[in-house]
Amino acid sequence: MWQKSYDNSPSVYVVPTPIGNLGDMTFRAIEILKNVEVIFSEDTRITLQLLNHFEIKKKLIHMDDHNEETIKEKVLEYLRNNKSVAIVTDRGTPIISDPGYKTVKYLREKGYNVIALPGATAFVPALVASGISAEHFIFYGFLSSKEKKMYDELEMLKDSEYTLVFYEAPHRILRTLEAMLKVFGDRNISISREISKLHEMVYVGKISKALETIDVKGEFVIVVEANSDKIIDDTPIVECVDRYIKSGLSSMDAIKRVAKERKIPKGEVYKEYHEGR
């Protein structure tokens, strides 16, 4: 069913907020936050700092993944009383790896307007600055925190012909890169950390080299090049096999992986590896 967004009826506004630099806040976002009745926020302390910066005084109500099932009824109550509301998260766009989906789905089903504002989100600048093709891509967000499921997810994605984009936290970044090296092979990647903040940094290169040099501080966006037959790795075979062994594969599994990546017989890789050592 088609629904006109701007019909002066009470609405839910999904409002992105800056992921770092407060200059990324849009004029429209400020206007909306000033005019709604109440703001539903993932962390009211962080949102209050933002509101204070822009001299906005507004009632805040906490809403996250744990209480959203009940809080969505509170949102509905405001709408039924002809009051528009806003949803924000700590930083970035609600619902993109953040709370808000259950509420939006529920209110859509009830026939209320949901208006999403364009604005800050971490994966877009990371992808655009990566130097990796953005013509077609899959935004996956966070991999599972459970190791077996994480490996299953990576196995599902490894043959994708599209660029892959992930979010990752500092305490899991090394484990995730090690898993990617094992499952994807030593592909080209980009890693952006602390986007739009003072200490923003971007790495571009092989997964193996990232593991040797990464500083595990800040929030990360990982962009991984697609699995393509056109991708040719000119790294010496001995070095490639050793990298996979270092990442945890047995010597035979490492040889099989290199042979598969280069589309050559594993006997050829085996011979060159052992003769070159």
CATH no. of 123-224: 3.30.950.10
Residue 143, helix vs strand vs coil: coil
The pTM is what?
0.80
Q: Which pLDDT does position 260 carry in this prediction?
A: 81
Q: What Rg, from alpha-carbon coordinates, does the chain have?
A: 23
The 10s digit of each residue's pLDDT in 216-243 is 888 999 999 998 754 556 678 888 888 8
Name, in order, each residue with C-beta under 8 angstroms of 193's C-beta and a sequence gap of 6 or more. Answer: 199, 200, 201, 202, 215, 217, 218, 219, 220, 221
Same fold, 11-116 and 123-224: no
Residue 17 CA to residue 121 CA, distance in Å, equals 8
Domain boundaries, the chain: 11-116, 123-224, 237-275
The 10s digit of each residue's pLDDT in 59-86 is 999 999 999 999 999 999 999 999 999 9
Q: C-alpha distances in angstroms, 73 versus 77, 78, 208? A: 6, 9, 48
Residue 192 CA to residue 53 CA, distance in Å, equals 27
Q: Would you tell me which CATH number, out of the four given (3.30.70.260, 3.20.20.70, 3.50.50.60, 3.40.1010.10), belongs to the domain 11-116?
A: 3.40.1010.10
The 10s digit of each residue's pLDDT in 154-198 is 999 998 989 999 999 999 999 999 999 999 999 999 999 999 998
